Structures are given as structure tokens and as C-alpha cells.
């Protein structure tokens, strides 16, 4: 089978590799569509040496496909089922899994994320990670779940209801997913950051207030506060960058809830958190894949308008060159079409 493999930062090749066999509890999935996001670009470049420890290595996490082979003991799935994979594995029986918070599984065998790869014709997945797609959800729709799933988790924990206002830092793959999820919940979206076509896409998805930036790393919080002088009550940071976290806290009103999805040091002191009574929420993916699929199936959420380019697997190097290059500001979502009917 064909598979993309990284051999060095910026060096991705499509190679022939042996098709894997599913072990107990595993499923072999024929990958139909793969939508790269920021973590994949970080992996492609191995930014900061943080992502890849040894080469060659596969890539990709957000995908959909068709069940091609079942390992021993797999129940509830059948050959030919259309599926997407959840970000994290889980045991299904611990206290947090029983509470529906399987992204916080307590079983040590599952709570450390195993590296998923999907930029290949077939990939092995733990059966528990798979969600069956409603008929109305296309493979492309189902390859872009990570952003809305994170956002649904964040918005619920920020206790947001229809009509509430939320600031979303960043309009990359995760940010656009958050904007779409927010609009599906009828939230008033303040999209902060981004430039070029990406910022326009946030507006087309329904963000009511856009604060694009002219250059990477430009401080934008001051402009947001000119429009909203009291600050924002809820802010979701999606860039996992020092810049994004700084801007998120700068626009947060006293008493605000700030949801964080990635790295960067906190730009506030303990005392500032106390003085402003800030609520800081960590968001580790989410457990709401089934709900997001229902929002897509019912037509309330669609990221398809954000797809600006499609590539076949053989052209994956061109896709990553685009996503990592200066033109990325004008690229929404990119789909790698792998199976024949994606």
C-alpha cells in the first residue's frame, strides 16, 4: 500500500509499505479523506524538535474511511462501515469514561496518546476510537472533526448558551472549526487574528466580528478592546502559541473564562488570576464526536466551505509545502483524497 513518510523536516515522500494486519481490538481502516491541521504542519517541520524523535515516521490524525478488516474481539463494527477516528483512545469502563469524559480516561494503558497516522491508504485504529458516520455526513466532513470537537468541549465547560459572545483566537484549521461550532450553537463570535483568506473564511462561517492582523505576531488585543471596552467574558485560544495566549488573556474581562488548547506559558500571575477572578480551562480534545457528527448530519455545521484545496496522496509533498509556506494565510482547509470515492 502507499503511505506518506517523513524522512526529515520538510521531506515527505509517498512510499510502498506493507499493509498492516489488525491485532486484537484493532480495525484496519481504508482511509478516504485526511485533513491536515496545525499539529501536522508542526510535525512536518518538526518545529522546535518537539514532534519527531526518529525518522522515518508517518503523519496525520484527522481522517475518515471505511472499515476494511476487523481484529479479534471487535464488536459493534462491520466491514464497509463508514467511520472517523477519535483523537484519543480510552478504556470505556473507568470513572471518567462512565461519565462520558473519555478524553480523560483514567486507565494508564490508554491515557497516553499513541501516535495515530492516517496519510496512507490503510491505517490501524483501536476499535474504541471509531465513530460510525451518519449517512448524511461525507468523508470530507468527517475528516475535519478535531476543531469542532475541541470547541464543543470548551464551550460546554465555559457554560455558554445561545446568544452568548465568545472570542476565538486564531482562524487556522482549529480556529475555523471553533467558529463553525460556535455558530451551530448560535454564539456571537469574535474571531481574532489571522489574515488573508483565512480571516474572510471566519466571516463566511458566521463570525460577527473580525479582527485580522497584518503580520504574524501582531498585537491585536488593543483593537478588540476598542470595540469591546469591557473585554470578553469567554475566550477560546486555538493557536497554542505564545502570541495567541497573550492576546487571549489581554482581551479577557474580569470574571472571564479562558479555554486553552495547547502550549505556551501563562502570561498572567497568580495574583492577576485572583484579582480578575479568571477561570482557566484546559481543553484536551473532547468526547463529543457523536454530537458533532449529528450537527453535521442535520446541516447545522459544515466546514466544507473552508476547503480551498484538494490533493491526491501522490501530491502530499505539494500540500505540505503549501501549508507550511507563506501562502498558508490564503489556505483554508486542505483535503488529501486517498480512497477512490472520497
Residues that bind Zn ion (CB under 5 A): 90-91, 94, 97, 105, 107
List of residues 6+ apart from 106 with CB closer than 8 A: 91, 94, 95, 96, 97
Query: At closest approach, how far in Å is the CB of 102 from Zn ion?
Result: 6
Query: At closest approach, how far in Å is the CB of 287 from Zn ion?
Result: 11
CA atoms of 174 and 177, how far apart (whole Å):
5
Give the nearer residue to Zn ion in terms of CB position, either 18 or 109.
109
Give the nearer residue to Zn ion in terms of CB position, either 57 or 91.
91
Judge whether 337 and 311 are in contact, CB under 8 Å.
yes
DSSP letter for 228, please: S
Give the nearer residue to Zn ion in terms of CB position, either 88 or 313.
88
CA atoms of 139 and 82, how far apart (whole Å):
8
Query: At closest approach, how far in Å is the CB of 74 from Zn ion?
Result: 18
Angle, CA of 82, 108 and 288, to the nearest 5°: 35
3-class SS of residue 175: helix
Judge whether 33 and 143 are in contact, CB under 8 Å.
yes
Q: In terms of DSSP bridges, do strands 82-85 and 63-70 run parallel, antiparallel, or are they unpaired? A: antiparallel
Query: At closest approach, how far in Å is the CB of 110 from Zn ion?
Result: 6
Give the nearer residue to Zn ion in terms of CB position, either 28 or 105.
105
Give the nearer residue to Zn ion in terms of CB position, either 89 or 237.
89
Query: At closest approach, how far in Å is the CB of 106 from Zn ion?
Result: 5
CA atoms of 279 and 256, how far apart (whole Å):
6
Give the nearer residue to Zn ion in terms of CB position, either 107 or 330.
107
Query: At closest approach, how far in Å is the CB of 129 from Zn ion?
Result: 13
Please count the helices (runs of H) and the strands (runs of E) in the chain.
12, 15
Amino acid at each position: 500500500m502507499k503511505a506518506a513518510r517523513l524522512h526529515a523536516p520538510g521531506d515527505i515522500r509517498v512510499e510502498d509499505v506493507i499493509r498492516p494486519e489488525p491485532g486484537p481490538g484493532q480495525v484496519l481502516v481504508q482511509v478516504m479523506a485526511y485533513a491536515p491541521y496545525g499539529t501536522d504542519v508542526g510535525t512536518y517541520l518538526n518545529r522546535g524538535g518537539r514532534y519527531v524523535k526518529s525518522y522515518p515516521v508517518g503523519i496525520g490524525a484527522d481522517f475518515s474511511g471505511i472499515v476494511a478488516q476487523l481484529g479479534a474481539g471487535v464488536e459493534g463494527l462491520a466491514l464497509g462501515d463508514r467511520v472517523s477516528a477519535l483523537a484519543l483512545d480510552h478504556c470505556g469502563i473507568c470513572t471518567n469514561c462512565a461519565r462520558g469524559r473519555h478524553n480523560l480516561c483514567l486507565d494508564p494503558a490508554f491515557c497516553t496518546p499513541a501516535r495515530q497516522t492516517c496519510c496512507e491508504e490503510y491505517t490501524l485504529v483501536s476499535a474504541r476510537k471509531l465513530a460510525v458516520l451518519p449517512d448524511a455526513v461525507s468523508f470530507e466532513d468527517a475528516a475535519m472533526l478535531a476543531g469542532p470537537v475541541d470547541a464543543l468541549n470548551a464551550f460546554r465547560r465555559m457554560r455558554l448558551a445561545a446568544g452568548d459572545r465568545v472570542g476565538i483566537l486564531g482562524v487556522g484549521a482549529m480556529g475555523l472549526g471553533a467558529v463553525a461550532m460556535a455558530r451551530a450553537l448560535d454564539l456571537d463570535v469574535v474571531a481574532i487574528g489571522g489574515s488573508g483568506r483565512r480571516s474572510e473564511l471566519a466571516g463566511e462561517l458566521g463570525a460577527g466580528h473580525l479582527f485580522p492582523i497584518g503580520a504574524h505576531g501582531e498585537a491585536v488585543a488593543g483593537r478588540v478592546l476598542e470595540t469591546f471596552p469591557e473585554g470578553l467574558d469567554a475566550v477560546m485560544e486555538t493557536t497554542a502559541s505564545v502570541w495567541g495566549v497573550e492576546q487571549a488573556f489581554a482581551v479577557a474581562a474580569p470574571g472571564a473564562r479562558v479555554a486553552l488548547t495547547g502550549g505556551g506559558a501563562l502570561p498572567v500571575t497568580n495574583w492577576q488570576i485572583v484579582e480578575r477572578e479568571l477561570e482557566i480551562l484546559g481543553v484536551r480534545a473532547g468526547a463529543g464526536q457523536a454530537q458533532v457528527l449529528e450537527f453535521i448530519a442535520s446541516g447545522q455545521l459544515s466546514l466544507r466551505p473552508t476547503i480551498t484545496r484538494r490533493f491526491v496522496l501522490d501530491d502530499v509533498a505539494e500540500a505540505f509545502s503549501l501549508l507550511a509556506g507563506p501562502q498558508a494565510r490564503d489556505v483554508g482547509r486542505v483535503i488529501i483524497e486517498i480512497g477512490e470515492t472520497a
